[in-house]
Amino acid sequence: MGKATGFMETARLENPYRPEEVRLGDYGELHIAQPAEARRAQASRCMNCGVPFCQSDFGCPLHNLIPEWNDLLYRGREREALERLMMTAPFPEFTGRVCPALCEKACNLESDALTNRDNELYLIETGFANGWVRPRIPRTRTGRRVAVVGSGPAGLAAADLLNRLGHSVTVVERADRPGGLLMYGIPNMKLPKDVVERRVRLMEIEGVRFVLNTEAGPALLDDFDAVVLCGGAKKPRALKVETAPEARVTFAVDYLTAATRAVLSGEAPSVTARDRAVVVVGGGDTGNDCVGTALRQGCRSVVQLEMMPAPSAERAAGNPWPEWPRTLRTDYGQLEAIYRQGADPRVYRTTVNKIMDGAVQTVQLQGFDPVPGTEQTLPCDLLLIAAGFVGCEDATASAFGIALGPRGTMMPSDGTHRLHGRLFSAGDMRTGQSLVVRALADGRAAALEVHQFLSAGM
């Protein structure tokens, strides 16, 4: 159970960010990893609670065995801790970097919670460094063939588990590189792309086949025993306002994709914030990634507009522990903007109501209604729209003859993963835009349903 008095003796210590003046000069990892002693001391704080909310439905969607691997880590038994972690977590190197750590928000130590995410990252990177993460090739094959459409976290998790269960898995991906939003979406500083490529290489050795640059269609049903659609939910919410034809307006994921392509190729990005006054519409995580990327590209200024009022720094009544706290968070991009510009880039209760050439007109909001007389003009020669997503793209749905549900997703009416016949769905495509850890859990749940379905016919 860790150390009985650990949580009283040792304070919570997260992996710190690299200083702004250093990290703004590159696209390298944001955090500095801490040495083994620091991680073991952090793991010693775990109380092995009678009711470990960290691994409950309020906490980790993968139901990671958090107290068990924290105890092994505290005792310096990293290899066993990693084995215990990998029983439920398919790719700790992704979640250890990008997960908002629902488990920490649900931890009984509340604001002083365990640093589960950093501990997880330490375990998996120690495993890779020591050669403990070996290909796990199934001893026998079932002879069943499964196609997984999309190579984001849901597709990778489904492919990984189906392959381990002995099925022959082919992942079909439209993009030129695998990873979905792990590759083209989440910026390199949050998740370096060689980390994604390392996992894909391992999966290939384990027997998963990746077919890139390929649009999946219903012909897959002729060649495979089952098809799992994991195409994501990236249809962006557009701004329906008067827009000058010359205005430069780009959706956030397109902008972030271009930025990552440029980082990987060393060439100039097809759309850049360099020397531009940037306005980001959307105060969420995607907007924050745009702020951090624009600053690295050398923007002249960046402003982030948010429709909702600023949340309080404290938990609101009616949002009790262990639920996810809706509090004011200042993320890496916003911290970098404060460092560079001297003020938080976020402007609350405000949106854009007119897009001109070189400027936008903003207006304050009361609820969702514009307040007359509050219009202002902001310089803007790159407008980035990070206003959320309205479901999955129509192309895959119409190709497979699926009628999308009210949220624009492929959620089967009975709540399972089976759409009909041999066709399944998982991840954001099934649930709507969510989190990497939820997509992983959903991909694994779909894989188990497919396995059950295929086993019944064997």
Q: Which of residues 258-277 bind ligand FAD (CB under 6 A)?
A: none
Residue 232: CB minimum distance to ligand FAD, A? 2
Residue span 196-215 as binding mask against ligand FAD, x where in contact by CB under 6 A, dash where not? -------------------x
Is 216 exposed, middle or buried, given 0-12, 13-18 or 19+ CB atoms closer than 10 A? buried
Question: Which of 108, 334 has the CB closer to ligand SF4?
Answer: 108
Residue span 58-77 as binding mask against ligand SF4, x where in contact by CB under 6 A, dash where not? --------xx----------
Residue 320: CB minimum distance to ligand SF4, A? 15
Q: Is 347 helix (H, G, I), strand (E, B) or coil?
A: strand
Question: Which of 99, 447 has the CB closer to ligand FAD?
Answer: 99
Separation between Cα atoms, residue 43 and residue 327, nearest integer Å: 26
Q: What does 107 bind: ligand SF4, ligand FAD, none (CB cut-off 5 to 8 Å by kind)?
A: ligand SF4
Which CA distances in Å does 221 have to 146, 150, 215, 280, 455?
9, 15, 14, 41, 18
Q: Is 326 helix (H, G, I), strand (E, B) or coil?
A: coil
Separation between Cα atoms, residue 14 and residue 235, nearest integer Å: 34
Is 314 exposed, middle or buried, given 0-12, 13-18 or 19+ CB atoms closer than 10 A? exposed
The one-letter amino acid at 312:
S
Question: Which of 38, 244 has the CB closer to ligand SF4?
Answer: 38
Residue 91: CB minimum distance to ligand SF4, A? 20
Residue span 59-98 as binding mask against ligand FAD, x where in contact by CB under 6 A, dash where not? ---------------------------------------x
- Does 286 sit near ligand FAD (CB under 6 A)? yes
- Does 394 sit near ligand FAD (CB under 6 A)? no
| DSSP assigned state of 359 | E
Q: Cβ(351)–Cβ(247) under 8 Å?
A: no
Q: What does 173 bind: ligand FAD, ligand SF4, none (CB cut-off 5 to 8 Å by kind)?
A: ligand FAD
Q: What does 190 bind: ligand SF4, ligand FAD, none (CB cut-off 5 to 8 Å by kind)?
A: ligand FAD
- Which of these segments, 51-59, 197-205, 330-338, 431-439, binds ligand SF4 (CB under 6 A)? 51-59
Residue span 104-133 as binding mask against ligand SF4, x where in contact by CB under 6 A, dash where not? ---xxx----x-x-----------------
- Does 53 sit near ligand SF4 (CB under 6 A)? yes
Q: Which of residues 239-258 bind ligand FAD (CB under 6 A)?
A: 253, 256
E-assigned strand segments in 37-88: none
| Closest-CA residue to 360 (of 303, 417, 445) | 303
Question: Which of 106, 384 has the CB closer to ligand SF4?
Answer: 106
| Closest-CA residue to 53 (of 315, 324, 313) | 324
| DSSP assigned state of 50 | S
- Which of these segments, 111-119, 220-228, 267-275, 424-432, binds ligand FAD (CB under 6 A)? 424-432
The per-residue DSSP string of 24-41 comes to: TTS-S-SB-PPPHHHHHH
* Neighbour-count burial for 221-236, b at 16+ CB within 10 Å, e otherwise: eeebbbbbbbbbbbbb
Q: Cβ(180)–Cβ(191) under 8 Å?
A: no
Separation between Cα atoms, residue 373 and residue 57, nearest integer Å: 46
Question: Which of 58, 132 has the CB closer to ligand FAD?
Answer: 58
| Element of type H or E holding 279 | strand 277-281
Counting residues that bind ligand SF4 (by CB under 6 A) gives 14
Which residue of 2, 61, 90, 152 would you call a contact of ligand FAD, by CB under 6 A? 152
Rule CB under 6 A: which residues touch ligand FAD?
98-99, 149-155, 172-175, 180-181, 185-186, 190, 215-216, 230-232, 234, 253, 256, 285-286, 289, 396, 427-429, 433-437, 439
Rule CB under 6 A: which residues touch ligand SF4?
46-49, 52-54, 66-67, 107-109, 114, 116
